[in-house]
C-alpha cells in the first residue's frame, strides 16, 4: 500500500487545512488512489500528518534511549509536531493533536498563516529562519548550515548563528510548555533541525 505524509491537518484521508500548501478540504488519499488506478495500479492509500508519520517511524525504529513517551518536532517549511505517549501516537479528539508549531511563543509576534500570531513556526520554520539570517528563501537550509559552521567573524556567518540560536530559544519556549504538560522522556528533533542541531539544540536546552 501507500501512505501519504502530508504537512497539514489530516483526518480520514482528507487534508482539512494545509496553510503552507494552500490546501483546504483536499481528499488527498482518494485523489492519489484514483491517479494510481488511472495508471493501472490498485493499491490501498492512507494518509496522515507528516510529523505523525515521522514520530511513528521514530517509535518503530527505536526512539533515543528506547523512549516510549516523547515529543517529536521537525523543521520544514513550517514546524511539524507530534506526541507519542506510552508507545501510542496522541491523536486528540479530531486527529489534530501535537501541532506544536502553532503554539504561540510571542503574542505580539508576526502573523501566521494559520490565522494566529507569534506561532513557533514564525521563528523556527524554514522561511522564518532564512529571513532572520538575512538570506533568500531559495538559499535553502544547506547554505544556512554551512554559514553557521563557518567559524569566521564574517557578518553573514554571525547573523546565521544568531538566527539559529534565536530559533532554538523559541523552540525551548514552546517545548517548556509541552514538557510541563506531557512529562516526556525525551524530545526528538527531526527534519532540517538535524543539520542545525549543534547550535540549535544547546539554545533550546538553555531555554528549557
List interacting residues with Zn ion (CB under 5 A). 102, 112, 114, 116, 119
Q: Of 58 and 74, which has the nearer Cβ to Zn ion?
A: 74
Closest approach of Zn ion to the CB of residue 62, in Å: 31
Q: How far is the CB of 46 from Zn ion (least distance, A)?
A: 26
Closer residue to Zn ion (CB): 119 or 128: 119
Q: How far is CA 57 from the centre of its chain?
A: 15
Q: Assign 193 to helix, strand or coil.
A: helix
Q: Are 166 and 173 in contact (CB under 8 A)?
A: no
**Residue 206 CB, nearest approach to Zn ion (Å):** 24
Bridge partners of 48? 5
Q: How far apart are CA 8 and CA 146, in angstroms?
A: 29
Cell 508549531 -> residue? 101
Please, what sign has the CA dihedral across residues 168, 174, 179, 185? Answer: negative
Looking at the Cβ atoms of 99 and 145, the one nearer to Zn ion is 99
Give 110 or 137: the residue with its C-beta nearer to Zn ion: 110
Q: Closest separation between CB of residue 113 and Zn ion, Å?
A: 7
* Count of helices and strands (H, E) across the chain: 7, 9
Cell 522564518 belongs to which residue? Answer: 128
Amino acid at each position: 500500500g501507500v501512505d501519504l505524509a502530508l504537512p497539514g491537518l489530516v483526518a480520514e484521508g482528507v487534508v482539512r487545512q494545509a496553510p503552507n500548501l494552500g490546501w483546504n478540504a483536499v481528499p488527498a488519499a482518494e485523489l492519489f488512489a484514483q491517479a494510481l488506478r488511472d495508471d493501472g495500479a490498485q493499491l490501498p492509500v492512507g494518509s496522515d500528518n507528516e510529523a505523525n508519520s515521522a514520530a511513528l517511524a521514530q517509535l518503530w525504529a527505536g526512539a533515543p534511549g528506547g523512549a516510549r513517551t516523547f515529543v517529536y518536532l521537525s523543521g520544514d517549511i513550517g514546524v511539524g509536531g507530534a506526541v507519542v505517549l506510552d508507545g501510542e501516537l496522541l491523536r486528540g479528539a479530531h486527529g489534530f493533536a501535537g501541532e506544536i508549531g502553532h503554539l504561540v511563543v510571542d503574542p505580539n509576534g508576526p502573523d501566521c498563516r494559520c490565522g494566529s500570531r507569534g506561532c513557533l513556526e514564525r521563528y523556527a520554520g524554514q522561511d522564518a529562519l532564512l529571513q532572520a539570517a538575512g538570506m533568500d528563501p531559495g538559499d535553502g537550509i544547506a547554505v544556512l548550515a554551512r554559514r553557521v559552521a563557518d567559524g569566521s567573524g564574517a557578518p553573514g556567518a554571525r547573523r546565521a548563528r544568531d538566527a539559529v540560536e534565536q530559533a532554538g530559544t523559541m523552540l525551548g519556549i514552546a517545548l517548556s510548555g509541552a514538557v510541563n504538560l506531557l512529562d516526556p522522556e525525551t524530545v526528538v528533533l527531526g527534519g532540517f533541525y538535524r543539520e542545525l542541531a549543534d547550535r540549535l539544540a544547546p539554545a533550546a536546552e538553555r531555554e528549557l
